[in-house]
């Protein structure tokens, strides 16, 4: 009997430990925004739209409004991620001393200390996969990456900010991802402000293609517009599938599905207006990842969920709306798509190239095979350039992995690959694919980005990577929770009257 009493005491202790883990596990699914969070997002959106308008952008109000935008956003994790995603393309006056990303760094610490009276950086250790790659790069290149104004330090600092925001989210990581996706999709604000006649100066650095201007944003050109749109679209699609497949109906707000459908349809005209092969090919790949997500949900039995049927109906409605827009050639969608297809066909026949980056990819792989161990940064040799960049004497691979493979060899490239895929590997190992679909789809969109362009220090990526790593670490918490639950049940059965009589 004393042994039985001891078992009961241990069981109660385990039950208490289970209850401590339970709120964090359940908070993950909560995407309902409080009125405070909604007011912050609305205020931040108004300020961000105002900063796109030329009269305000070119006035003395631009920098103070940017700082106010950041202060308001940092008051909650969801709006904080919204701000982080917008800083990459938020307009700022020419010649300004600080850009939005730098302003975001400068105001972050005082705002969060006043708001929370602490720094929630307990999970910053999850950033460890970046260290082997950075140490290898620094050892070979001797580049002062540790200086505050280096791109490496700026990227790492946004990882710290993302870690703090995730810590204050208290497990509500899907809500944080929602804020980041909404911020990424805000890149199309300039396009729609321009369409309704507001005074917005659209960038057309890409020139013309087949008679159509390759439209971008106020600060982002067409090349940088489409990856951001794909990031936001992928995240919202993943959220819809994941939430519609879950059993926790209270965590899903009713407004999320129509908002998702509306934003995705609204993202189509600016995406097409980039007149970019990468935008069109990336859209097809994102659509394929969405089909894959639906297939996973079907295997998990999500089609028996009534909320999933509502999601399918919303998808069908959105597809019909897109078909109508193409049929009537709204915003010249059909004309631009057919013109770019004709341009691609003519170019591929003239150059016998499968893509516009074939030349630089060929040169990059040649350099990597010639300097496989340490890359070309150590030797200082001149690369053999056969592409259209030969007169310049240098080029970007339009592929982050190939860029670092050329610079620091195959070992450095593999360390970069480890860093990039680490949180996705952890989520995949959890085998809870439906749970982590939003993160996996955004990660896939970022893979398209890194495989197409040479922008390793995109702040949105570093913030997302940190959030994904924290969310992936929660799978271990969930695993411990299940183990404790099983042990608690086993202990309870061991102290049942039948078990005591057997003893």
Asked if 137 contacts 412 with a C-beta cutoff of 8 angstroms, the reply is yes
Residue 52 has pLDDT above 50, yes or no: yes
Mean pLDDT for the chain?
86
Closest residue by Cα to residue 400 from 466, 465, 472, 353: 465
pLDDT at position 486 is 43
User: Is residue 127 very low, low, confident or very high in pLDDT (cuts 50, 70, 90)?
Assistant: very high
Report d(CA 80, CA 404) in Å as an integer: 31
Asked if 363 contacts 392 with a C-beta cutoff of 8 angstroms, the reply is no
Beta bridge partners of 208: 213
Report d(CA 174, CA 239) in Å as an integer: 8
Q: Which tops the pLDDT comparison, 428 or 14?
A: 428
User: Is residue 321 very low, low, confident or very high in pLDDT (cuts 50, 70, 90)?
Assistant: very high
Torsion angle of the four alpha carbons 96, 100, 102, 106, in this order, in degrees rounded to the nearest 10: 110
Cα angle for residues 155, 156, 161 (degrees, 5° grid): 95
pLDDT at position 494 is 45
pLDDT at position 349 is 58
Cα angle for residues 478, 481, 487 (degrees, 5° grid): 145
Residue 8 has pLDDT above 60, yes or no: no
> How much of the chain exceeds pLDDT 90, in percent?
61
Instruction: Return contacts of 493-496, CB within 8 angstroms, 24+ apart.
Output: 494/7, 495/4, 495/7, 495/8, 495/11
H or E element at residue 209: strand 208-209
Residue 482 has pLDDT above 90, yes or no: no
pLDDT at position 495 is 46
Asked if 460 contacts 502 with a C-beta cutoff of 8 angstroms, the reply is no
Q: Which residue has the tokens 């909320």?
A: 307
φ, ψ for residue 149 (rounded to 5)?
-90, 5
Residue 129 has pLDDT above 60, yes or no: yes
pLDDT at position 95 is 84
Q: What is the mean pLDDT of residues 15-32?
A: 60
Asked if 186 contacts 45 with a C-beta cutoff of 8 angstroms, the reply is yes
Beta bridge partners of 212: 209
Residue 500 has pLDDT above 50, yes or no: no
Quote the pTM value.
Answer: 0.88
Nearby residues of 24 by Cβ (< 8 Å), 6 or more positions away: 170, 171, 474, 477
H or E element at residue 327: helix 306-327
Lowest mean pLDDT among 46-50, 287-291, 476-480: 476-480
> How much of the chain exceeds pLDDT 70, in percent?
86
Report d(CA 190, CA 201) in Å as an integer: 8
Which tens digit of pLDDT belongs to each residue from 347-386?
A: 665 554 445 678 889 999 999 999 999 999 888 788 888 8
């Amino acid at each position: 009997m004393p042994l039985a009493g001891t078992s009961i005491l241990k069981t109660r202790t385990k039950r208490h430990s289970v209850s401590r883990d339970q709120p964090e596990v359940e908070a993950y699914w909560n995407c309902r925004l409080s009125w405070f969070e909604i007011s912050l997002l609305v205020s931040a959106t108004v300020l961000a739209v105002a900063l796109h308008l030329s009269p305000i952008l070119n006035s003395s109000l631009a920098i103070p409004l940017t700082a106010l935008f950041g202060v308001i956003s940092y008051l909650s994790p969801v709006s904080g991620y919204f701000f982080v995603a917008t800083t990459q393309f938020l307009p700022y006056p020419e010649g300004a001393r600080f850009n939005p990303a730098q302003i975001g760094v400068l105001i972050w610490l005082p705002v969060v200390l006043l708001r929370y009276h602490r720094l929630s950086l307990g999970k910053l250790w999850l950033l460890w996969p970046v260290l082997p790659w950075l140490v290898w790069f620094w050892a070979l290149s001797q580049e002062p990456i540790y200086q505050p104004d280096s791109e490496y330090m700026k990227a790492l600092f946004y990882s710290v900010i993302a870690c703090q925001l995730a810590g204050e989210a208290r497990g509500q990581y899907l809500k944080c991802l929602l804020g980041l996706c909404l911020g990424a999709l805000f890149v199309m604000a300039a396009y729609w402000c321009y369409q309704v006649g507001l005074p917005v100066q659209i960038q057309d650095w890409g020139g013309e293609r087949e008679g159509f201007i390759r439209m971008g944003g106020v600060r982002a050109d067409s090349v940088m517009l489409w990856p951001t749109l794909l990031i936001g679209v992928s995240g919202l699609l993943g959220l819809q599938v994941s939430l519609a497949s879950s059993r926790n109906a209270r965590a899903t707000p009713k407004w999320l599905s129509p908002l998702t459908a509306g934003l995705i349809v609204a993202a189509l005209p600016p995406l097409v207006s980039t007149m970019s092969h990468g935008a069109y090919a990336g859209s097809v790949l994102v659509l394929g990842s969405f089909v894959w997500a639906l297939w996973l949900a079907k295997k998990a039995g999500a089609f028996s969920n009534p909320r999933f049927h509502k999601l399918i109906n919303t998808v069908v409605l959105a597809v019909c709306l897109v078909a109508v827009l193409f049929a009537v050639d709204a915003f010249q969608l059909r004309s631009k798509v057919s013109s770019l297809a004709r341009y691609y066909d003519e170019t591929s026949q003239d150059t016998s190239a499968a893509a516009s980056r074939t030349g630089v990819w060929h040169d990059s792989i040649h350099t990597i095979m010639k300097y496989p161990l340490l890359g070309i940064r150590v030797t200082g040799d001149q690369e053999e350039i056969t592409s259209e960049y030969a007169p310049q004497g240098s080029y970007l691979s339009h592929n982050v992995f190939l860029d670092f493979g050329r610079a620091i060899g195959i070992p450095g490239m593999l360390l970069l690959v480890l860093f990039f895929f680490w949180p996705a590997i952890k989520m995949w190992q959890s085998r809870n694919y439906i749970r982590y679909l939003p993160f996996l789809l955004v990660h896939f969109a970022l893979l398209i980005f890194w495989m197409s362009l040479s922008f390793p220090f995109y702040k949105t990526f570093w913030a997302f990577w940190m959030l994904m790593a924290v969310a992936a670490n929660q799978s271990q918490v969930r695993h411990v929770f299940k183990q404790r639950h099983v042990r608690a049940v086993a202990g309870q059965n061991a102290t049942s009257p039948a078990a005591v009589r057997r003893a």
